[in-house]
Amino acid sequence: MQTADIQRRWLEFFGTRGHTVVPSASLVSDDPTLLFTVAGMVPFVPYLTGVVPAPYPRATSVQKCIRTNDIDEVGKTPRHGTFFQMNGNFSFGDYFKEGAISYAWELLTASQSDGGLGFQEKDLWVTVYKDDDEAIALWKKIAGLPDDRIQRLDMDTNYWSTGQPGPAGPCSEIFFDRGPAYGVDGGPATDDDRYVEIWNLVFMQYLRGEGTGKNDFEILGELPNKNIDTGMGMERVAFLLQGVENMYEIDQVRPVLDAAAELSGRRYGADHDDDVRMRVIADHVRSGLMLMTDGVAPGNEGRGYILRRLLRRSIRAMRLLGVDAPTFEVLFAASRDAMSAAYPEITENYDRVSRLALGEEEAFLRTLAAGTTILDLAVSDAKSTGSAALPGDTVFQLHDTFGFPLDLTLEMAEEAGLTVDRGEFDRLMAEQRARAKADAKSKKGALADLSVYGEFRAAGETVFLGYDELETETRVLGLLVGGQSVPVAQAGDIAEVILAETTLYAESGGQDSDEGAIVGSGFDLEVLDVQKPVKGLISHTVQVRAGEVHVGDVARTQVDTQYRRAATQAHSATHVIHAALRQTLGGDAHQSGSYNKAGYMRLDFSWNQALSPATRSEIEEISNIAVRDNLPVETRVMALDEAKALGAMALFGEKYGDTVRVVDIGGPWSRELCAGTHVGTSAEIGVISLVSESSVGSTNRRVEALVGLDAFREFAAERALVQQLTSSLKTPKDQLADRIAELSAQLKAAEKTIAQFEAARLTERVPALVAAARPTGAYTVVAQNVGTLGSADDVRTLATTVRGRLGDSAAVVVLAAETAGKATVIIATTPAAREAGAKAGELARAASAILGGGGGGKDDLAQGGGPDAQRIPAALEAVLAALRG
C-alpha cells in the first residue's frame, strides 16, 4: 500500500465519521516556543488546552512534522526520521476513550477492500497506563484482546502532559509485532525493536499541578471537558504494510536512497556503514525538501541552522560514500518525484527549492575545502609537537564555526594516524548544549504563560477595526500586570490590556505595531506594543500615564495618525519593491521575509548574487514610476483557493486561514496575500529611496529602503552635503566626482612620497645606532630611545635593519620610541644571541612590565609597550639588567 493511499484512507475514514478534515499546517510552527511543528497535535494545542475555543467538535489531519532531537539515530534504527507525517484524530469535549479505541481498532483491522489498513489482530499489542482500568476494559470489550496482549506501563511512558501545569492524562499505545526474527518475545514492555509503536491514543482528562519530570507532579482533578488526541506514525505504518525493513525503504524515501547508491557506485545492503549513510541521505534530503517548500532557507540560526545542518550532513554522508562532486541536483529531484503525489506544492515551489539546495551545496563544498586546509594545518602542528591527538578546541572550532562535521574530522584524523581529544571536544559541546537547553527551557516556560489568555479568548475574538477607522469606543475585557490577571492597573504600571475592539494594528506580516493611546474616563494609557499572543486575541502593552484603569471600563483607542500614515506607506512600498524585483530579476526572486515600520522597510528575497549598481537603480526607478503612476490599491477578502487561482502571492512561512485578504497594487502587477495596512493609491507612498543591498546567506539577499518623508529627508541631507563639497572644493556639481578622484590620487602620491622620505630618514639613523652597540654580559647590545616615530612599524623596521648590520655576533637590539602618545619597545635578536640564551619575547615582557602594558613575541622578534612613555629609560635598563644576568 503506497503512503499516499494510507493518507487518503485515513482522511476518508475519519471524514465520513463526522471529523472536520484539517489540512496540514506548515512545518514552521505558530507556537513561539517551537522552531518547528514537532507533533500532529501542535496546531490543535490552543483547542486542547482551552485557550482558544475549538471551531469544531472533532477533527482529523495528516500533519507534516520535523524533529531533530534524535538526529544522531537517523539511519541506525528502522523508525527514526527527521521529517515524518503524523495522522491524527481529535475530539474536543465530544467522544472520549470508547470512541477513540473503537475508531483505532476498526481502521487498523478492517480489510483493505473495506477501506481499512488490513492489519491482523494477532499481530497487535496495546499498552495502557498502569492504573487505567477503564481503558483495559474497553480494549477487551471492543477488540477482544486477551490479558497477555495488554500491558500496564508506568507514568514515564504512558502518561501525557505538556510538562507544565495544565491538561494531562493517561495514554494507550498500539504496537505491531514483527515476529521472532526481529527480537525477543515479551511484548512492548521489553522495549525491543521487534515491537513497533504505530498509534498513540491520549486521553486528556485531568488537570496536573506543578512539578518536574514525567512523574512527580500532582493531579489536581478532572477537566470539565475531556479531549482526545491521537497520533499514528505514517512512515511506520507504511514500512509495515509495504513489507520493507524500515521507514527509509518506503515509496516516499527509497528513491533518494537508490539515487545515492547509484551516484556512489555502492550497493545498498552490502555494507552496514554505507547503508546507514544512504539512509541518512534519504531522510535528510527529504526533510530539507519539505522545510524549504514551507519557506525555510539555510542560515546560521534557528530554523535555518537546523536546515543547514541537515543538508551538510547529507553532503558529508555522500563524501563518506566516496562522492566529492555535487549531488543535490539528482537527489532532490528524486525526492520531489517521490513526494509530489502527497504534496503537490512541492512541484510548484521546486525551482526555488532547487536553487536554495544547489547554492547551499556549492557553499558547503567550499567550506569543506577551507576546513580541510585548517585541519591539515592542525595535523601538521600535532605531528611537529609529537602529539598523537588533535586538540579538542580545534575540532570544536571546525565543527562550530566552519560547520565541519565531527565524523569527517575523525575520518581524516585517522587517515593521518592521529586521534581526536574527544574529552575536550565533548566538554565544549556539553557547554554549548547546556546553553541551548537553558534557552529552550526559558522559551518553554512561555508556553504555560499563554494559558492566562484563555478566559479572554473564550469571550470571543478581538475585533480589528483599524482598516477603516483610527479611533473606536470599546470596553476593557481584561488587564494583566506581570503576567497575572488583575482587576485594576495604576499610574506607572506596565500592563497588558485586552479590549473587545481595537483600531491599533498588532505586529504581524512583517509590519510593526501601531503607536497610539487608549484613553477613558480617569485614565490615559500610552501604547508601547500590540501583539497577538494567541490566535484571534489582540493584547496591548501599555504604560499607565495617569489615573487608574479597571476591567469593564469604557475606553477609546487612538492610533497615532502620522505614524500610521508612514507605516502604511512603508508596507505598500514593500509590495511595490517586491514587484519591481520580480520584474527586473524574474519570478525566482521571491520574497522570503520582510519588516516595515513608519518610514522604513526591508525585504529579503531568494537570490544568490549581489545586485549591480545598474540593477539597483533599475529596481528603484521601476518602484518610483509605480508611485508616479498613481496605481489603484484595492483590498479584497476571499477564499484562499480563490486568491491562489487569481495568482495572489503568499509569503513563505506565513500562516493563512481559509479566508484571506488580497492586496492589489495596479491590479495583477502586484497581487499578494496580506493582512497589513496600506495606502489608497500608490502615489500616497511618496518617494522610495533604496539605501542598501546586502547578503543574508548564500541564497538570500536583502534590500532596505526609506519611504515617504524619511526618504525626502535623506535626499535633502545628501543635497546639503553636495552643496558643501561644491563650495569647499570650488567645483561644479557635475564635476565633483572627478575632482574628488583627482584629490584622492594626489593624496596617495603624497603619502607615498612621505613614506619614502620617512624610510630614508630611518635609514640615515642606522649607522649611529650600530656604532652605539656595547658589550653587555654575553651579548653585543644596542639599547636606545629613538624619540618619537610615526608608528610601531617604523620602530620595527629600524630594529631589524640594525640587527642585520651587526652580522654574526650575539647581538640584541632594543629600541624604544613614543608612538601615538604611547611607549613602544621592539627587541630583535641574532641567531648567535638566541643560541646564547636571549629570547626577545621574554625581554619584551620585562620592558612592558615597567611601561604599564603588555608584550611578547617569538625569540627572534618581539614587541612590547605601555601607556607611560616617561618610563622608557627604566624599561631599557630592565632589559639590560636581564641581559647581564
Whether residue 248 contacts residue 257, with contact meaning beta carbons closer than 8 Å, is answered with yes
Instruction: Give the closest residue to 375 by CA, choosing from 363, 357, 391, 362.
Output: 391
Cell numbers linked to 393: 578546541
Q: Are strands 856-857 and 861-866 parallel, antiparallel or unpaired?
A: antiparallel
Q: pLDDT for 373-413, tens place per residue?
A: 777 878 888 887 778 888 888 888 777 666 676 767 786 78
Question: Is 19 part of any known ligand binding site?
Answer: no
CB proximity list for 28: less than 8 A, separation 6 or greater: 36, 37, 294, 295, 296, 303, 653
Question: Which comes out higher in pLDDT, residue 407 or 205?
Answer: 205
How high is the pLDDT of residue 444? 37
CB proximity list for 7: less than 8 A, separation 6 or greater: 62, 85, 87, 234, 342
Rounded distance, CA 688 to CA 573, Å?
A: 7
DSSP one-letter string for 259-300: HHHHHHT--TTS-HHHHHHHHHHHHHHHHHHHHHHTT----S
CB proximity list for 488: less than 8 A, separation 6 or greater: 479, 548, 549, 550, 551
Whether residue 124 contacts residue 177, with contact meaning beta carbons closer than 8 Å, is answered with yes
How high is the pLDDT of residue 880? 92
DSSP one-letter string for 339-398: HTTT-THHHHTHHHHHHHHHHHHHHHHHHHHHHHHHHHHHHHHHHHTT-SEE-HHHHHHH
User: CA distances (Å), 758 to each of 79, 762, 768, 815, in order?
Assistant: 73, 6, 17, 17
The residue behind cell 655576533 is 809
Q: How confident is the model at residue 260 (pLDDT cuts 50, 70, 90)?
A: very high
Residue 244 sits at φ, ψ, to 5 deg, of -110, 175
Range in 29-38, 219-228, 273-282 with the lowest mean pLDDT: 29-38
Rounded distance, CA 516 to CA 744, Å?
A: 50
Return the bridge partners of 529, or none. 541
Return the bridge partners of 175, or none. 125, 197
Instruction: Give the closest residue to 175 by CA, choosing from 126, 141, 248, 209.
Output: 126
Rounded distance, CA 318 to CA 282, Å?
A: 11
Q: pLDDT for 580-620, tens place per residue?
A: 999 999 888 888 889 999 999 999 998 888 999 999 999 99
How high is the pLDDT of residue 534? 86
Rounded distance, CA 467 to CA 676, Å?
A: 9
Q: What is the mean pLDDT of the chain?
A: 89
Q: How confident is the model at residue 435 (pLDDT cuts 50, 70, 90)?
A: low
Whether residue 219 contacts residue 161, with contact meaning beta carbons closer than 8 Å, is answered with no
Return the bridge partners of 811, or none. 780
User: CA distances (Å), 735 to each of 613, 729, 743, 746, in order?
Assistant: 20, 10, 12, 17
Query: Does pTM surpass 0.75?
Result: no
Strands, E assignment, 179-284 = 195-208, 219-233
Instruction: Give the closest residue to 659 by CA, choosing from 684, 641, 632, 686.
Output: 641
How high is the pLDDT of residue 537? 92
Rounded distance, CA 174 to CA 158, Å?
A: 11
Helix, strand, coil in percent for the chain, rounding step 5: 45, 25, 30
- 317: part of which helix (H) or strand (E)? helix 302-320
Torsion of Cα atoms, 847 then 851 then 855 then 861, to 10°: -40
Q: Is the pLDDT of residue 653 over 60?
A: no
Q: How confident is the model at residue 447 (pLDDT cuts 50, 70, 90)?
A: very low
How high is the pLDDT of residue 443? 35
Whether residue 100 contacts residue 232, with contact meaning beta carbons closer than 8 Å, is answered with no
Instruction: State the average pLDDT over residues 319-332.
Output: 93
Return the bridge partners of 539, or none. 498, 531
Burial 188-212 (b: 16+ CB within 10 A, else e): beeeeebbbbbbbbbbbbbbbeeee
Question: Is 674 part of any known ligand binding site?
Answer: yes
Q: pLDDT for 74-132, tens place per residue?
A: 888 777 889 999 999 999 999 999 999 999 999 999 999 999 999 999 999 999 999 99
Handedness of CA 477, 536, 210, 202 (dihedral sign): positive
Rounded distance, CA 510 to CA 514, Å?
A: 13
- 129: part of which helix (H) or strand (E)? strand 124-129
Q: Is the pLDDT of residue 213 over 90?
A: no
CB proximity list for 865: less than 8 A, separation 6 or greater: 792, 822, 823, 824, 825, 848, 851, 853, 854, 855
How high is the pLDDT of residue 427? 84
Sheet holding 822-829, edge to edge: 774-776, 779-788, 811-819, 822-829, 861-866, 856-857
Question: Is 575 part of any known ligand binding site?
Answer: yes
Whether residue 102 contacts residue 142, with contact meaning beta carbons closer than 8 Å, is answered with yes
Q: What is the 3-state secondary structure (H, E, C) of 821-857?
A: CEEEEEEEECHHHHHCCCCHHHHHHHHHHHHCCCCEE
Instruction: Give the closest residue to 872 by CA, choosing from 828, 841, 838, 826.
Output: 826
Question: Is 678 part of any known ligand binding site?
Answer: yes
Q: Is the pLDDT of residue 439 over 70?
A: no
Rounded distance, CA 295 to CA 349, Å?
A: 9
Find how far residue 756's CA is from the centre of its chain.
52
Rounded distance, CA 688 to CA 306, Å?
A: 36
Rounded distance, CA 605 to CA 626, Å?
A: 20
Q: pLDDT for 286-297, tens place per residue?
A: 999 999 999 888
How high is the pLDDT of residue 335? 97
Q: Is the pLDDT of residue 13 over 80?
A: yes
User: CA distances (Å), 376 to each of 325, 364, 417, in order?
Assistant: 21, 18, 12
Whether residue 231 contacts residue 39, with contact meaning beta carbons closer than 8 Å, is answered with yes
Rounded distance, CA 520 to CA 505, Å?
A: 19
Range in 28-37, 183-192, 457-466, 834-843 with the lowest mean pLDDT: 28-37
Rounded distance, CA 667 to CA 471, Å?
A: 30
How high is the pLDDT of residue 420? 85
Q: pLDDT for 141-177, tens place per residue?
A: 999 999 999 999 998 889 988 777 888 999 999 999 9
Cβ atoms < 10 Å from Cβ of 412: 19
How high is the pLDDT of residue 402? 64
Q: Is the pLDDT of residue 438 over 60?
A: no
Rounded distance, CA 193 to CA 50, Å?
A: 37
Residue 207 sits at φ, ψ, to 5 deg, of -110, 120
The residue behind cell 575540532 is 395
Instruction: State the average pLDDT over residues 838-864.
Output: 90
Q: pLDDT for 339-354, tens place per residue?
A: 999 999 999 889 889 9
Q: pLDDT for 492-512, tens place per residue?
A: 899 999 999 999 999 998 999
